[in-house]
Amino acid sequence: MLDRVVIAFSWISAVIIVGAVCAIFGHIILNGAGTIKLSLIFGDVAPLDALLLKRQVLNGLFPAVIGTLLLILISVMWAVPLGLGTGIYLAEYAGAISKKIFNLFFDILAGIPSIVIGLFGFALAIFLHKNVSNNIGPCLLISSMALAFLVLPYIIRTTQVALEELPREMRLTALALGATRLQNIRHVLLPRALSGITTGVILAIGRCAEDTAVILLTGVVAMAGIPHSLMGSYEALPFYIYYISSQYTSPEELLTGYGASLILLVLCIGLFSAAFLIQKRLTYITLYRA
């Protein structure tokens, strides 16, 4: 009897979650699909001119798309090497005590609300503005660093777990053949852990793509155009969605928010696929290339 209840509960849970995901996607697609036109992205500017940065797009999502893409790439660029290094250290080098301390520290880091990290980024920008240079303010650089901080725990944890899960025999194989510790990590352990690590990178990409709280305080603005440098402010899709859904003046305008959501979704799917393909390619290169 209890068995049946548990099974029924599991089934219902799965159905609820799948249903919720479908409902969200369906809602966005139903409302957003109609707004997806070239003009939503490029406004009155010819797409080619916009892509080649010949003319600025003033009434389209193009700057937000580019802003979000840049933001994700730069944040991940900070976070991946740092997170990988830390994860490798924790899994392969750290002693029992330092491991405990670091694990606690990174669990706390993972639990910090993004708005707090945003506030810290903001404070940092103000500090730099006052003490280093008047030209520094909330900008792409500060945002990407704050976001990297936000997603570091994902990458650290998945790297560490992926390495620690490898069976002991596999750890000893290369060592018994005369590999140094570093060679073992580089040639055997990391390639085997790559798919696990990619999960962390994908989580990080998703988090960077959606987070609004951090960038709200560290440099995103509604109308900035394409950022011309790391020190510039920028636009981003999640901020646009937030902004339009709280400030819309007509139902049509609200619908463009759905359009932006749809574009953000597609963007994420594209980046996830890219991360996945890179992982496949790297695994192949590190393990199979003759």
Q: Is 3 in the site for another protein (CB under 8 A)?
A: no
User: Nearer Cβ to another protein, position 48 or 172?
Assistant: 172
Contact (CB, 8 A) for 134 and 229: no
User: How many residues make contact with another protein (CB under 8 A)?
Assistant: 20
Nearest distance, CB of residue 193 and another protein, angstroms: 12
Tokens 């928010």 locate to 257
To another protein, the closest distance from the beta carbon of 186 in angstroms equals 10
Q: Which of 90, 116, 87 is nearest to 101 (CA)?
A: 90
21/172 with CB nearer another protein: 172
Tell me: does residue 193 bind another protein (CB under 8 A). no
Name which position in 4, 5, 169, 229 contacts another protein (CB under 8 A). 169
Residue nearer to another protein on the CB measure, 172 or 269:
172
Stretch that binds another protein, among 70-78, 166-174, 210-218, 245-253 (CB under 8 A): 166-174
**Minimum distance of another protein from residue 283's CB (angstroms):** 9
Residue 97 near another protein by CB under 8 A = no
Q: Which positions lie near another protein, rule CB under 8 A?
A: 168-180, 183, 187-188, 192, 287-288, 290
